[in-house]
Structure 1
């Protein structure tokens, strides 16, 4: 148990609390104006030690800016593009507000007020990403024993309104592809395989099985702070994706004269085909041209062709598990969550099947009853 003693200062009597840390090292805290304040502090120390929640005040005095780098360096599980986004968010939004603030001084209400201000000018999804960086930084401090609790827990976040997805029909895919000139096959490939852009851009000739019409997706490439980063696919695991027969000839043309280690799709400079360049040079104008003649043609990006691939697969009769494997989702539950709207027609099929089952049951019962009735 600790002790309380008084001492004199120029401003009058003050009280000092002496106590032992969990490691039995003795320390003290001075400056209490009343003995009651000192007693309350000592009681809180003893209770927090018993609960295993005690935090050394000296360790929580580190500022957010000082703690941000150790937290950032510890994110070994993240891909380079995600880390790049975290770095941008730290520098752009988190550190300008919280950099000089000590960890111990981060208040729940202060975090809520910050999120509320951000929500007035930024999209809900952006605000959530910014919040997650500060929350993750604080969570790491809790695990390291610098905070007893995460002040970001329970903060109310803006609701994300689900964006309407524009799925293309077969005819619209062909219309868009024809408008992309020399990159017609890129549009067709993305719309009928569901590969992410980085997976397509990293695809090498040796990963194509032309006989089985399979793509071995084992690598991805993406820009991170101006540099191309080669890594595994988003799910960190390879997968085999089928492609329709009509793509065989287009892919054969792309692979002609190349070695197994060469990239299938190349940019104008002979290097990696970059999404931003492709969108500016070909895709955006092709979408505009399609919209000018087809009022139902949706706004979309190259990445949205992945959604079209899911839509076309479902409409062709593919089940959830097959779509999950094609897209490389972590689980079928994730596929259902992302593309729940594509399976709305399945609800009608369920109702129809239940109706048939119930009707057949009633008919069978009536027939059975008729068979046992005595003849008159």
Structure 2
């Protein structure tokens, strides 16, 4: 530290004319209880670090001494050491979130920035590191995708924000890092034209969904599969794969036609575990249609038969979709099966998660309200639902356009092939006779 720092008093009073804050120059500061105490600590990075709102001078001095001691002790702290210290101290992180942070640190942030002293970290060094991550490699593609770069930067900003709160940095240097803007890929429908282009060129959309006919063809082709019910529920009710494998019979009320999502199955530390859903909004209850209820009842009959066949080797977990011995089913199994069954059905390719997208698109096409679709999917915001599912089935879009034109025609404002004048709301005076006007003159 270039200086030990100082404490001072200031208030929020303003000048009568200019309304400018008086701050440290208010004449009332000598009064007891007027204003509050602040401290200023030089950082060597430009503007000093200031904190305030203390009731007494002693409180401000104690806070200054504590921050000064912590800063001096951390003068040799590297970015990598702070990252490890921060991640170790975050004991309340979800397992998947911790795994993502660990991956960002090990693969990108520690190799690029870990050896830099935290006190010397600035925007220019961070920008250079991200430019290097985005640079094309030997194969012509960058090591990290544009979406991946934004996720890495978000992780870095979170970690450095904690350093600012701890008084180790005056401001977050990652805030000014510039990255290539990205857009969320919106689902598009496998129309006949897109299918022909894919068959001709092999190029496929990033996110694509089947039409109602294609979805029906897929479900018909896998009707005899032991996990048919899982794909049926995902395709019609939009469950995530971990939610489907985490579903228990106790979560189903087939009499009332309700399905409750209260947990999911994930891989953690190399083993399958059950854990809470992705977010608070993911805890939800979904209405079931009569067809899905019958599919689930048939699946329960099939599972009971498997249980009788397995006898002592069956492990009762209470889950709806399991392995042949009753143990937890990995979500990855559904993903792999989806690829195989998709190819066998001779349909344009989609991912397992695209069945969830398709469920939302088909629900909107069937006339479901956007809020109903949001609740079905477990989104936290209707904005996310609207932003993701702006695409609709082509025939629905054409029908909406035709319905709009029909509404206008019915109102009489637009008649094909003619143009009608709008009648005035008040009576017009009769036209004068020219002959009468001449006689009057």
TM score, norm. by length of structure 1: 0.76
CA pair 18-331 structure 1, distance change in 2 beyond 3 A: closer
Higher RCO (C-alpha under 8 Å, 6+ residues apart): 1
Q: Give the corresponding residue for 1:289.
A: 344
Distance 2:245 2:120 in 1: 46
TM-aligned CA deviation for residue 197 of structure 1: 1.1
Matched, 1:171 2:216: no
Distance 2:340 2:266 in 1: 23
269, 276, 280: which one pairs with 2:332?
276
- Indicate the SS of the match to 1:263: coil
Matched, 1:332 2:389: no
Aligned residues: 335
Distance 2:84 2:43 in 1: 35
270, 284, 304: which one pairs with 1:239?
284
Q: Give the corresponding residue for 2:423.
A: 366
TM-aligned CA deviation for residue 326 of structure 1: 0.5
Q: How does 1:95-106 map to 2 (within 5 A)?
A: 95-106=110-121
Q: Give the corresponding residue for 1:26.
A: none
Q: How does 1:200-279 map to 2 (within 5 A)?
A: 200-237=244-281, 238-256=283-301, 257=304, 262-279=318-335
Matched, 1:92 2:92: no
CA pair 335-136 structure 1, distance change in 2 beyond 3 A: same
- Indicate the SS of the match to 1:329: coil
- Indicate the SS of the match to 1:223: strand
CA pair 60-150 structure 1, distance change in 2 beyond 3 A: farther
Distance 1:199 1:308 in 2: 17
Distance 1:375 1:301 in 2: 73
Distance 1:134 1:328 in 2: 28
Distance 1:273 1:93 in 2: 32
Q: Which of these two proteins has the greater Rg computed from alpha carbons?
A: 2
Distance 1:45 1:91 in 2: 28
- Is the 8 Å Cα contact of residues 84 and 225 (structure 1) preserved in structure 2? no
19, 24, 31: which one pairs with 2:4?
19
TM-aligned CA deviation for residue 349 of structure 1: 7.8
Structure 1 window deviating more from structure 2 (180-189 vs 123-132): it is: 180-189
TM-aligned CA deviation for residue 324 of structure 1: 0.5
Distance 2:158 2:428 in 1: 74
Matched, 1:65 2:80: yes
CA pair 272-137 structure 1, distance change in 2 beyond 3 A: same
CA pair 331-146 structure 1, distance change in 2 beyond 3 A: same
Distance 2:286 2:91 in 1: 28
CA pair 166-45 structure 1, distance change in 2 beyond 3 A: closer
CA deviation string 1:298-320 (max 9, x = no partner): x3221221101001100000111
Structure 1 window deviating more from structure 2 (177-186 vs 305-314): it is: 177-186
Question: Unpaired segments of 5 or more residues in structure 2?
Answer: 9-40, 53-63, 136-141, 186-205, 308-314, 432-441
- Is the 8 Å Cα contact of residues 60 and 147 (structure 1) preserved in structure 2? no
- Indicate the SS of the match to 1:341: coil
TM score, norm. by length of structure 2: 0.66
| RMSD between superposed Cα atoms in Å | 3.6
- Is the 8 Å Cα contact of residues 178 and 184 (structure 1) preserved in structure 2? no
